[in-house]
Amino acid sequence: MMMHNWFTCKIRYEKTMENGMQKKVTEPYLVDALSFTEAESRIIEEMTPFISGEFEVAGVAKANYNELFSSEEESACIWYKCKLWFITLDEKSGAEKRTASNVLVQASDLRDAIKKLDEGMKDTMADYVIASVSETAIMDVYPYEAEPDVKPEFENADKR
């Protein structure tokens, strides 16, 4: 399983509205990166082909998501933040312990988000409760993807 470091990157640019007018907007995107510097570099690389004219990275902040469930469905164009409580029992005291976890789900609406969240969590052994589901302003998500021709540095270390 791959660990992700999510960063919210805010992009400010002149957007052409449906009525043809130009409007300065700031939109958030989610980027998987190792550092703030890499997140900024990756969002510039990802956005350059899509924005004509100048744009600036208006901010980079660490995002707290433990899991992400994306969707290939064309209607699933909204990202929802789902707060979950994982419930465990303390063996000694028998007390219920709740641990919070944030999951980002791509869906078409609120009902679809809950459905996709439950589908994504179906193999989870721990009991959980959905504490909240809220629509985010996130425009798109850019997970890290290794180049197909790049080999791990220590791939043959154990084949001596």
Q: Is the pLDDT assigned to residue 1 strictly greater than 50?
A: no
Residue 109 has pLDDT above 80, yes or no: yes
Pairing of strands 22-32, 141-142: parallel
How confident is the model at residue 88, as a pLDDT?
A: 86
With bands split at pLDDT 50, 70 and 90, how would you rate the model's confidence at 87?
confident
Q: What is the pLDDT of residue 35?
A: 95
Domain encompassing residue 56? 1-63
Question: Do residues 78 and 38 both lie within one domain?
Answer: no
Environment class of residue 23 by beta-carbon count within 10 Å: exposed (0-12), middle (13-18) or buried (19+)?
A: exposed
Decide: helix, strand or coil at residue 93. coil
pLDDT at residue 89, as a whole number: 84
> How many domains, in total, are found in the chain?
2
Q: Which residue has the higher pLDDT, 159 or 145?
A: 145
| 77 and 40 both lie in a single domain | no
Same domain for 58 and 72, yes or no, is no
Distance linking the first and last C-alpha atoms of the chain: 26
95 inside domain: yes
Question: Which residues lie closer than 8 Å to 120 by C-beta, 6 or more apart?
Answer: 67, 69, 103, 105
- pTM, rounded to two decimals: 0.83
* pLDDT higher than 50, residue 78: yes
* 160 domain-assigned: no
Assess whether 85 and 121 both reside in one domain. yes
**Looking at residue 147, what is its pLDDT?**
64
Residues 89 and 112 both lie in one domain: yes
Domain containing residue 51: CATH number: 3.10.20
pLDDT on residue 159: 47
74 and 131 co-located in one domain:
yes
Quick: pLDDT tens for 7-50.
999 999 998 888 989 999 999 999 999 999 999 999 999 999 98
- pLDDT 10s digits, 54-75: 999 999 999 999 999 999 999 9
pLDDT tens-place string over residues 132-156: 999 999 999 999 876 665 555 555 4
Instruction: Examine the domain organization and report whether 69 and 128 are in the same domain.
Output: yes
